[in-house]
Structure 1
């Protein structure tokens, strides 16, 4: 890699961290988070002899803001990073809403460069309640969350930051809160809607590479019975690792354990 940015459509750019050499692992952060959230995990993965890459999603961190987002665009952004860095036999690690980026990437671009997928605290495969998903999130509750993010994001953060990583220090919680506030509000609002309204049940069922699902059983943002356990039932080659007593922010509270599991899965 010759520069810390990868070009995407319309003159916009993604900021990329690309460390070390060896078998590649690419990490994607969740909603309103950027590549910094993976810091401790990245250090551990590089120390284990892996090439570790993470980038800031459009409108997040140091990447530019095209003002539009959907899973097709995000999958194409991911493809641009993978192709620019020429990553092969790649382990793709996706947290929370980034799970949809990885699934859509495989749907749109194939899995030829991918050796394994690891979903961490994944949202989906289908979050909103409906005729075929009666146990999902009610539409009215979802709309209330989107409205609060749009008009009073600071209040939403006050209610949700600590449950994200219950054992984290006040300094870390403040850092995570600032990361959310620094995200493009357009991206934060629209990506929340994209995540909630997506239905990946058919696409997940068609994934033809091994998938490891890592999920905390105290995850309030993506309750395990609505998300991870359903992915484990749908995805053909899926293994489920449950972290007991762990919430959504696994890479914050359990970075070393997570890194160890990523290394073990990457080298299988």
Structure 2
């Protein structure tokens, strides 16, 4: 099976299919590469499609350290370097959007020439003085407390909350099962989401960036992407009117069309 060593003793599992301009898909908190299955199928005819399991998720190693957003972005950089990617597009969902945007602020403009945040917790997930568009810090505190008491129940609620449309119980169960493959240590990523702040770095982004967001997103507020579009020069906002937190599933065709159009623009 294909693995990349992102640091000594820590292996990332990845899948690499198709040929052409590369797209690297980065999943959200606690999930894994499988959430991108429709994009893998639909894009691999004309693109090189790479999906990864982040540290602590899926088939990747699950060490007790290294779950901060910046460290996960460092891991992503190792993946990009090891695969020798050029002219690549990064697509990050939810916390994956945070990882991708952190990467772009530090490494963008080299191997990576475009980036997309999908319902990303960017530039910071929580509200603070002078920034009232995030979620209350209390939300993160309560989530971490709930994980300690009953992690499956908390994960079930998050999985069910990813959808606006009636996608059916099998889809919700699939999301839940993917979530439950995560390491216990991914709670450290959730904790870091309550701290990170990329506001001062947004103006440094020099590559084309798009923010995709579900209109009914109850996990990450649409207002965050709206804020980012104003701060990142030339950024594009795409709102999916019939989606919550997973427009790549709830509006597959439009999502894929918008993504392809952005990459080829």
SS state of the match for residue 222, structure 2? coil
Shift of 1:156: 1.5
Counterpart residue number, 1:178: 177
TM-score, normalised to structure 1, is: 0.93
Q: Provide TM-score, normalisation by structure 2.
A: 0.94
Give the Å deviation of 1:79: 0.9
Q: Distance in 1 between matches of 2:253 and 2:2?
A: 26
State the shift of 1:232 in Å: 0.8
Gaps (5+ residues) in structure 2?
none
| Rounded Cα–Cα distance in structure 2 between residues aligned with 1:190 and 1:216 | 26
Following the alignment from structure 1 to structure 2, what is the Cα–Cα distance between the partners of residues 25 and 139? 33
Inter-partner Cα distance in structure 2 for 1:105 and 1:158: 30
Alignment partner, residue 236 of structure 1: 233
CA contact (8 A) 1:41 1:256 kept: no
**How do residues 119-158 of structure 1 correspond to structure 2 at under 5 angstroms?**
119-158=117-156
User: 1:59 is paired with a residue of what secondary structure?
Assistant: coil
Post-superposition shift, 1:72?
2.3
Aligned length: 263
Q: 1:46-85 residue pairs with structure 2 within 5 A?
A: 46-47=44-45, 49-68=46-65, 69-85=67-83
Q: Find the partner of 1:211 among 198, 209, 216.
A: 209
The yes-or-no answer on 1:260 pairing with 2:257 is: yes
SS in structure 1 of the partner of residue 194 of structure 2:
helix
CA distance in 1, matches of 2:98, 2:160: 25
Deviation at 1:200, TM superposition (A): 1.0
Report the CA distance between 1:34 and its aligned residue: 0.5
Is the CA contact (8 Å cut-off) linking 1:103 and 1:203 kept in structure 2? no
**Deviation larger for 195-204 or 82-91:** 195-204
Question: Which residue among 212, 220, 243 is the counterpart of 1:246?
Answer: 243
Determine the structure 2 residue equivalent to 1:89.
Answer: 87
Aligned-pair RMSD on alpha carbons? 1.5
Structure 1 unaligned residues grouped into runs of 5+: none
Q: Tell me, in whole angstroms, the C-alpha distance in 1 between the residues paired with 2:101 and 2:16.
A: 22
Alignment deviations for residues 176-213 of structure 1 (CA, whole Å, 9 cap, x no partner): 101111200111x1111112221111122211001111
Change (3 A) 1:260 1:134: closer
